[in-house]
Structure 1
Amino acid sequence: MATLKVGLVSPEREIWSGEAKTVVAQTIEGSLGILPGHAPVLGVLLDGSVVTIEPADGGERVSAMVGSGFFSVAGDEVAILAEQAEMGEEIDVQHARQALEDAMAGGGEDATPERRARARLRAAGIEV
């Protein structure tokens, strides 16, 4: 069975790497679902979105919040280079909820803090 070699990294650390069956990421052009054999592509990640990875070993699906960055596919290798990234299992849900409340109360023109807070909660498995 063909698989993808996937690396999700931020400037601070490698968030996840390994073999995967599928990867789904949101780019500024829309959602991309990647399977083995996908055509080469380079995209800009949607700031405040969620990347999901289905590990090839049948393990639990990986969800991570990502800030701005890039998404690259070439020869069954997927590189996700995010300015910010956080695994769903590492997210402090109470803190993320407070960040969302604060962002919504701020009412500023920049929607990035609200998008990021919502993405953190979705990555943690909380629909908002």
Structure 2
Amino acid sequence: MEKSLHLEIVTPDKLVLSEQVDYVGAPGFEGEFGVLPSHIPFLSALAIGSLYYKANGKTHHVFVSGGFAEVSDNKVTVLAESAERAEDIDIDRARKAKDRAEQRLAQIKEKVDHARAQAALQRALARMRVRGNA
């Protein structure tokens, strides 16, 4: 049995992470899931939230904004709309985005705008939670 697996997180803009890890926990659309070495293959849609992984006895967090995770051949590949390591998150920017989204939600008249503002708020709050775990 393998002792580690490869984690790769990719966005349309860049390769965010490519490392050997011991465990991956991810915010699946149907709930959080975990992956250990030699896991069976599967594909899952991702929700906005915190993906975390354990490597060399430490836990690391990465903000992900939707996308997909594929587990196959002892590798977890995450294709995310956006992703940021906890240490790269600008907490002031996240707080400002949260404030803007809350203001928009207080003034919304159309459902489409409400959904966009709600999604922006979820992203800002998730970034703040992930940054708090750094």
The structure number with the bigger radius of gyration is: 2
How many residue pairs get matched? 123
Cα deviation digits, residues 47-93 of structure 1 (max 9, x gap): x21111112x33x4221111121101012110011011111101111
Shift of 1:105: 1.7
Deviation of residue 97 (structure 1)? 0.8
Instruction: Show the counterpart of 2:78.
Output: 80
For 2:71, the aligned partner's letter is V
* Structure 2 residues not aligned, in runs of 5+: 109-113
Identity %: 32
Alignment match, 2:25: 24
Letter in 2 for 1:90: D
TM-score, normalising length from structure 1? 0.89
AA of the residue aligned to 2:25: V
Match of residue 126, structure 2, among 116, 119, 128: 119
Aligned-residue Cα RMSD (Å) equals 1.4
- Find the counterpart in structure 2 of residue 66 from structure 1: 64
TM-score by length of 2: 0.85
State the shift of 1:6 in Å. 0.8
- Structure having the larger proportion of residues in helix: 2
Instruction: Provide runs of 4+ in structure 1 moved above 2 Å.
Output: none
